[in-house]
Structures are given as C-alpha cells and as structure tokens.
Amino acid sequence: MALGKLAEVRTKAITRLGKIESLKLQPTEEAQDAAVRSALDEYSSHRPRELVKRVAGDGQTRRWVLKTLLSAEPVWLPRTSRVQALEILEDPDTDDEHRRELEAEEWEVRIDAAGDEVLWLLRPPGTSETLSITWTRPQQIETLDGTDATPGTTVPDGDVEGFLLLVLANLAGWVARSASDLKNESMGLDQVDYDTIDRRWRDNEKSLRKQALERFVPTEFAPASGTSVDYRSRDRYGFPRVSH
C-alpha cells in the first residue's frame, strides 16, 4: 500500500481514527498536518532515507564540504543529514568490483572555520578508486511543507502501516489533550464526560505508539545515531519533538 501525498495521508488517518465523541474534539486540518509532521520526524529518527554518492578519486583530494558535494537534489541538510558509511571501490559496476568499507579511524566529519560540515579522509582515494558515500536525510511526504524541490513521498510501502500508526497515536493524543482542555473550560457544566474521553484516548495513544515502535524497533526503543525523541518535550500541538 502506497502512502501517497499529504491529503491521502490525512484521509487514511482520519478514517482509521474512527468515531470521536464530540465534534469539538475533531482534529483540525492544521492539527492533522502537525500530527503527520511529528510522525515523519519520529519515523525518520528510526528509518532515515539512505542515499549514495560516488566520487571519483584523484589521488589528492581528501576533504569535501558536504553541502557543496551534495548540492543536487536531494541535498545535504546541515546538522540533520548524517554520513552512515564510506567505501572505497575498485572497478565499480564490473565483475571485478572490489569494495572495502573504511574504518572509523580512517574518516570523520569535522566542522570548519565557516561552520560547514566537512568530510575528511585519512588518505585520498587513488586515481583508480571511487569513494562511495552512504548518507541520510529525513523521509518526506509530498506537499507536507509546500512544493518539494524533489516531489514524492519516500516512506517505503512496507513501512506505511507503522507510519500510519504513529500518525494515529499523535491524533489520539491530540483528542485526549483537547478533551482535557474542554473539561477545564466547561468546569463540569458540559454534559459530555471529558474526563473519561481524555483517559480513553490517552490509552489509545499509548497502544498505537507501542504498536508502531514495535515495527521499527523490535527489541527496544533506540533512536538512530545522532537523533532522539524526547516525549517530555513537545511542540505547540503537543506532539513529541525529535532532535538531530
């Protein structure tokens, strides 16, 4: 099942969310978009988009400014993208291809005087070698943040169900918080039992998030290197913040 563009994600999520006790608790379009954005950040912390760039060696160059090297779409995102692995290839794409993954002590990403991230190698790739860079950037959903330079939703079909569960968890949390707010505002004068609604949707949020994370992190909750999800820190919609 393909995830589709933002409007399709909204439709799938709201349909799956089911009946809500009061129209006052129906997530707004703005809240739906925020729920999708938060889910995308959280999903990307577990399953970032992996890309590969190949650079022909010249026997001399051993440092590259990453935002310059990876300036064609999809571009390197400073402080967000990560170099995952480096390989030296000989005779790439032939029957005689030989690959050697560089060890951690053979390369590093440094910050230069201009504040740019620079990939630095212990020795430059030779003229008969090719450097293969595996790097990451967050996944995207088409039209989520306006017109994408490179359109298209990148969440793989196999992860659609887990991703939708994250969106549903965020929406369930939004309903619970809205019920809590209305309970406080109504001072018990409203005929709707917002307290019970609040507890039910908070339970739904926990259950949905647990189901989602079991798909992405089967053994234990462990964000990808360089990222974290802080459930104590939330944005203005109440959704968890993801830091890179």
> CB under 8 Å, gap of 24 or more: what pairs does 18-26 form?
20/175, 21/179, 21/192, 21/197, 22/182, 22/192, 22/197, 24/178, 24/182, 25/175, 25/178, 25/179, 25/182, 25/197
Amino acid identity for residue 104 in this structure: A
Q: Using a cut of 0.95, tell me whether the model's pTM lies above it.
A: no
Nearest CA to 152 among 216, 73, 42?
A: 73
Confirm if 208 and 30 have CB atoms less than 8 A apart.
no
pLDDT (0 to 100) of residue 220: 45
Q: Which two tokens stand for residue 208?
A: 């949905």
Tell me the pLDDT tens digit for each residue of 62-107: 999 999 999 998 899 999 999 999 999 998 888 888 999 999 999 9
Confirm if 134 and 51 have CB atoms less than 8 A apart.
yes
Tell me the pLDDT tens digit for each residue of 37-46: 999 999 999 9
Confidence band of 223 (pLDDT split at 50, 70, 90): very low
Q: Around Cβ 146, how many Cβ atoms within 10 Å?
A: 6
pLDDT (0 to 100) of residue 132: 97
pLDDT (0 to 100) of residue 152: 86
The chain-wide mean pLDDT, for the chain, equals: 87
pLDDT (0 to 100) of residue 184: 80
Buried b (16+ CB within 10 A) or exposed e, 69-83: bbeeebebbeeebbb
Q: Around Cβ 123, how many Cβ atoms within 10 Å?
A: 12
Q: Which two tokens stand for residue 138?
A: 């967050």
Tell me the pLDDT tens digit for each residue of 180-193: 998 887 665 567 78
pLDDT at 236 over 70: no
Tell me the pLDDT tens digit for each residue of 103-128: 999 999 999 999 999 999 999 999 99
Q: Which residues pair with 98 in a beta bridge?
A: 90
Domain ranges within the chain, ordered by starting residue: 6-47+144-243, 49-137
